[in-house]
Amino acid sequence: MAYRALYRTYRPKTFKEVVGQKPIVTTLQNALKDGKIAHAYLFCGPRGTGKTTMARLFAKALNCSKGIGEECNQCENCMDILEGKHPDVYEIDAASNSGVDNVRKLIEQVSFAPILGRYKVYIIDEVHSMTGAAFNALLKTLEEPPANVVFILATTEPDEVLPTILSRVQRFDFSKVSEQDLIMNMEKILEKEGVSYEEEALQIIARLAQGGVRDSLSLLDQAISYGGDKVTAEDVDTLFGLMKISDELELVKAIHLNDVKGAMAILKDKYAKGADVLKLHDDLTNIYKDLLVFGTTRDQSLLTYLKPDEALKTLVTPSEIRRNLSVLIKARRDYKTALNAFDQFELTLLSLTIKEQFEENEPERIEKAPEIKTIPLSEIKTPAPSVPVQTPSTVVVEEKKAEEVSKPTTITTSSLDRFDQLPESGEGLTITKDQIINIMVQGNKSIKQDILKDWETKLKSVPNSDSLSYLASQLMRCTPCIAAPGVLVVKSFFKGVVGTINLYSNVEKTKQLTKKLFNMELRVVGIENGPYIDFVNAFMNLSQADDLPSPTPIDLPDGSKKDVAPAGPTNAEKFMDSLGLNPSGNKQ
């Protein structure tokens, strides 16, 4: 049987199973009980909050064989509606059926009596996508439909629906579901699936879902595919490129202290481990927004991202919060045109961290700047050596010893980390999607964790005198992400580093280095962060579709002769052959 996504498998079958939306559920149940059934409804609200699900439940309650308001899920009407094949319940996607001709066909069907049920129910999803002509064609029917017809319109954009339509329907506004309700729903589903979990992992997923039940289950589905028999916070962070709130608050602290070096170090470390800078940018916006609201109102219920204790521990002045929010909001628009999202975020972080210094000090310098007078070249006299040259009082010149000035600047390894480099020359491996997925299928998480635990410490232990020290310094800019039989895949946001690691000339060297440090002879393969995330998504899609390939022996090219295809004839040889000449120039 084909795999069904969690949000489809656990879609509510009764009003009691609906997550959140209690006021709407109560109103609809009372209407069914009292027989006060309107001819048209509008369900509007954010995506994934249950609009279409509620419409199907209402259609089922209208047509259940046991009576109006019942939901037995056993009779023919209930079963057909559950399976989406009831002849009296029509689901129409207005996004792909938005024209006036589609509406005219619908109007023609409305006049016919129901086939099996009591009511014909038309569920029109994304109704805001309909054209103006289609809306106008629907107006008369929507206002005075036959007694046994009910329209249920669903939309995420109620403001785009014509006012003449809005005035003819009962409107229900669906709200975002609380994080607590999302967590409780996920806990029930994980218990039924037999999957263990960490409470913190579900809290992270609920926060990412932003009030959408469907989104929370889609994210949970991915986390289960990644973690297997247990959903952990660490796996969720890795899978979705997240930073912990405690780390984000450390970044806020560094910004508050104008600690450029510290802020950049946090950013670089988390980005190297797969953090999504766009998500981090939005998280910082949410943090500052929460701090501003909480600092003004002291109302814990208004916090949407931070917990009360996290907000209380973060001491930032209101003026700084407003300034940083302004910087973040303006910078968010620039990602669409930026060539590199990481570089754009670095510039944003610099603006957040050092802007205060510029604002406070720069005006003072301009006001006190000495007047500059233009002096003809002929009037300039060179002072005698014994007379010291005087500088203006506003300019401070730091004296340096001659040997310090002449001493060449030393570039350390840490300073090189800020820049990418060109890879060494030579042939190298270019990993393919099929190769990386074959490695992922055979990945061993425990081995990867063992290597990751001592990764930096052991690489630093390689002495400079060792011939493998240069390769060790390159690997320090990488993070292990997959460990499989005989292979270790590492990711890095440095393209040059990846190219150097993948050189065929370094294959044996990486094997020697891993044997020496981790007692495992491994072929190290480098991959950039961006392509790695694409490969992970491809792996997840195959896993959810139960279409992962069977593992095959991992055999990667190493530049040996067996990897080189026999050379074909050159262009000159092809030309001579077309003339009927052999390579010596004689006729064949």
Residue 222 and residue 294 share a domain: no
> 521 in a domain, yes or no?
yes
Task: Note the pLDDT of residue 104.
Answer: 82
Q: What pLDDT is stored for residue 371 in this prediction?
A: 43
Residue 384 or 164, more confident: 164
Q: Is 377 domain-assigned?
A: no
Give the whole-angstrom CA distance, residue 201 versus residue 100: 48
Query: Contact at 8 Å (CB) between 219 and 254?
Result: no
Instruction: Please state the separation of Cα 249 from the chain's center in Å.
Output: 20
Distance CA 265, CA 418 (A): 10
232 and 249 fall within a common domain: no
Confidence of residue 571 (pLDDT cuts 50, 70, 90): low
**pLDDT at res. 522:** 92
Domain assignment present for 8 = no
**DSSP codes of every residue in 15-75:** GGG--S-HHHHHHHHHHHHHT---SEEEEE-STTSSHHHHHHHHHHHHH-TT-TT---S-S
pLDDT of 340 higher than 90: no
Angstrom distance (rounded) from CA 106 to CA 110: 6
pLDDT at 379 > cutoff 80: no
Could you tell me if 164 and 40 lie in one domain? yes
Of 416 and 230, the one with more pLDDT: 230
Residue 440's closest CA among 489, 507, 486?
Answer: 489
Answer yes or no: is 313 within a domain. Answer: yes
Please check whether residue 148 lies inside any domain of the structure: yes
CATH number for 63: 3.40.50.300
As given in the structure block, the two tokens for residue 460 are: 């630093």
Total domains, the chain: 4
171 within 8 A of 44, measured Cβ to Cβ: yes
pLDDT bracket for residue 561 (50, 70, 90) = low
In the structure encoding, which two tokens stand for residue 52, read together?
Answer: 């279409």
Residue 405's pLDDT is what? 37
Residues 260 and 232 in one domain: no
Same domain, 111 and 204: no
Percent of the chain residues past pLDDT 90, beyond the cut: 20
**306 — pLDDT class (breaks 50, 70, 90):** confident
- Asked if residue 369 belongs to a domain, the reply is no
Please work out, in degrees rounded to the nearest 5, the angle formed at the alpha carbon of residue 275 by the alpha carbons of 333 and 215: 75
Number of Cβ within 10 Å of residue 78's Cβ equals: 21
Q: Buried b vs exposed e over 401-416: b needs ≥16 C-beta within 10 Å?
A: eeeeeeeeeeeeeeee
Q: Are residues 114 and 235 in the same domain?
A: no
* β-strand pairing of 40-44 with 230-231: unpaired
Residue 83 shares a structural domain with residue 167: yes
Alpha-carbon distance values, 516 to 356, 472, 475, 510 (Å): 49, 11, 14, 10
Same domain, 95 and 188: no
For residues 8 and 1, what is the distance between their CA atoms, to the nearest angstrom?
14
Q: Does the pLDDT at position 194 exceed 80?
A: yes
28 and 157 both lie in a single domain: yes
Q: Each residue of 509-518: pLDDT tens digit?
A: 999 999 999 9
Residue 3: per-residue pLDDT: 75
Q: What is the pLDDT of residues 66-97, one digit of tens each?
A: 888 888 888 889 999 888 889 989 888 887 76
Residues 234 and 252 in one domain: no
Show the domain range for 523: 433-558
**pLDDT given for residue 147 in this prediction:** 84
pLDDT of residue 31: 92
Whole-number mean pLDDT of the chain?
80
- What are the residues whose beta carbons fall under 8 Å from the beta carbon of 12, sequence distance 6 or more? 18, 19, 50, 53, 57
The CA dihedral of 193, 199, 201, 202, to the nearest 10 degrees, is: 60
HEC-encoded secondary structure of 372-429: CCCCCHHHCCCCCCCCCCCCCCCCCCCCCCHHHHHCCCCCCHHHHCCCCCCCCCCCEC
DSSP β-ladder status, 149-155 and 40-44: parallel
DSSP class of residue 522?
Answer: -
Structural domain ending residue among the three candidates 224, 240, 256: 240
Question: For residue 172, is pLDDT > 90?
Answer: yes
Long-range contacts of 427-435 (CB under 8 A, 24+ apart): 427/503, 427/504, 427/559, 428/499, 428/502, 428/503, 428/504, 429/502, 429/504, 429/525, 429/556, 429/557, 429/558, 430/502, 431/502, 431/525, 431/527, 431/556, 433/535, 433/538, 434/549, 435/554, 435/556
What is residue 161's predicted lDDT score, i.e. its pLDDT?
Answer: 86
CA dihedral 238, 204, 199, 177 (to 10 degrees): -150
pLDDT tens-digit map of 207-261: 888 888 999 999 999 999 888 888 998 888 888 878 888 889 999 998 988 888 9
The verdict on pTM exceeding 0.85 is no
288 contacts 266 by C-beta, under 8 angstroms: no
Query: What is the total residue count of the chain?
Result: 588
Q: What pLDDT was estimated at residue 30? A: 92
For residue 325, is it within any domain?
A: yes
E strand or H helix that includes residue 488: strand 487-492
How confident is the model at residue 6, as a pLDDT?
A: 87
* Averaged pLDDT, 185-195: 91
DSSP summary character for residue 123: E
Residues 6+ apart with CB under 8 A from 224: 6, 193, 195, 231
Assess whether 47 and 141 both reside in one domain.
yes
Q: Which residues contact 512 (CB under 8 A, 6 or more apart)?
A: 468, 521
| Structure tokens given for 474 | 């390159």
